[in-house]
């Protein structure tokens, strides 16, 4: 239960494993939803098109940099009037469409910038992982 509170959106993903790889903590996440809603027409979809892996960075744990390995999925939209035939399973509050970092890590980095000089913010970010 404690570990579930550490990764983003525990209701959307479950952890299959954690590993230390090349001086970083890697958290492998798999989606738990069986039904995903098309972002264009709102139709429920269960028909999987394919899977692929995303590797965004997340907030460090202690001084360990954290990289997520998310098994993302694409689905077919079967609504005949929908212009989108294939869509990616969305998780907008956690990870933007093409983002390389989670939203919460992006917010931490943005908070560092105005409070310090750019050079100091870069050092702090490196120190934080």
79-97 per-position pLDDT tens digit: 999 999 999 988 777 888 7
Angle at alpha carbon of residue 88, lines to 82 and 93, rounded to 5°: 110
Cα–Cα distance, 49 to 52 (Å, whole number): 10
- Enclosing domain of residue 120: 3-128
pLDDT of residue 5: 53
- pTM of the entire predicted model: 0.76
- For the cut 80, the answer to whether the pLDDT of residue 117 exceeds it is no
pLDDT of residue 59: 86
Number of domains composing the chain: 1
Strand partners, 27: 18, 68
48-57 per-position pLDDT tens digit: 999 999 999 9
């Amino acid at each position: 239960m404690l570990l579930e509170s550490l990764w983003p959106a525990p209701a959307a993903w479950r952890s299959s494993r954690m590993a230390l790889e090349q001086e970083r903590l890697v958290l492998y996440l798999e989606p738990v939803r069986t039904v995903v809603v098309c972002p264009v027409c709102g139709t429920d979809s269960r028909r999987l098109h394919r899977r692929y892996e995303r590797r965004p960075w997340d907030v460090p744990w202690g001084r360990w940099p954290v990289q997520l390995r998310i098994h993302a999925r694409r689905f077919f939209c079967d609504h005949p009037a929908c212009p989108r035939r294939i869509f990616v399973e969305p998780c907008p509050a956690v990870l933007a469409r093409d983002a390389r970092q989670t939203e919460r890590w992006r917010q931490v980095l943005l908070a560092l910038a105005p409070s310090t000089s750019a050079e100091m913010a870069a050092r702090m970010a490196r120190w934080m992982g």
